[in-house]
Amino acid sequence: MKTTKSLNQSEKRINNNEKIDEKWLLTFYTRVAEEIGITRQCQTETHTWVITLTAGIVAAVIAIGNGGVIYPNESSYLLLLAITPLLFRFFVRSCLEYQIMQRWIALRNAIDTYYYYKGKNEILAQEAIIYFNEINKSFYLNWNAAKPMRKMILDNLLLAFAWPMIILVILLILGGITLSSTPIMVATEIIVAIWMTFEIIAFITYRGFKYVNPVASLPKIQ
């Protein structure tokens, strides 16, 4: 009964005669494939910079501590404070590249599914086109996010940012509770706190991170 109902819904959608320009679709598919490669390369470069930055932070802290002065010390602590917005900026950039790549991947998967079923199963081919048209409008034309913010943040932490952020937070906490406050430390902490507040607000409210769950579904390739 459930299978019959699903089939009737699919046939009803086909009767809507939702079509697509095949020549345009092929041209668009080529662009999608190119964009996936570009965004993957950009994301790899961002992660490489993060690893380099983290290694540089550790090396700088050790270098400043040379001569018997061991962290935490004021110079190293101020350096870490100054680096914090930069590391977060790299994280934001990685999230941007992640969402862009996920948009192109979703579009590519829809086109692949359409061509897989074309000539084999017109119902499923039409389902793929319906799905493509919806996400093309949402992810490409309206530039909504292809993944929810929670998953985006988690994926980027797991990709490259978890351990650099953990190292930075531990060192900052250690310096903050150990060192005696000085005017320059307090001023730097206030400046960084204000800066990070604006950064986080801009990150959370950015429209490109607004996720829209597609109503249509992409048929699985069997």
Indicate the pLDDT class of residue 91, thresholds 50, 70 and 90.
Answer: very high
Q: Give the residue with greater pLDDT, 3 vs 213.
A: 213
Q: What pLDDT sits at residue 191?
A: 96
Q: What is the pLDDT of residue 54?
A: 78
The C-alpha atoms of residue 112 and residue 118 are separated, in whole angstroms, by 10
Say whether pLDDT at 57 is over 80.
no
The neighbouring-strand residues paired with 30 are: none
Residue with the larger pLDDT of the pair 62 and 186: 186
Maximum mean pLDDT: which of 47-56, 65-74, 136-145, 161-170: 136-145
> What is the share, in percent, of the chain residues with pLDDT greater than 70?
87
Mean pLDDT score across all residues of the chain:
85
Q: How many whole angstroms separate alpha carbon 40 and alpha carbon 49? A: 14
pLDDT of residue 192: 95
One-letter-per-residue 3-state SS of 105-155? HHHHHHHHHHHHHCCCCHHHHHHHHHHHHHHHHHHHHCCCECCCHHHHHHH
Q: Are 39 and 106 in contact (CB under 8 A)?
A: no
Q: Span 144-150, mean pLDDT?
A: 95
Q: What is the pTM of this model?
A: 0.82
Query: In this predicted structure, what is the pLDDT of residue 14?
Result: 46
pLDDT of residue 93: 92
Q: Where do the domains of the chain lie?
A: 20-209
The pLDDT of residue 126 is above 50: yes
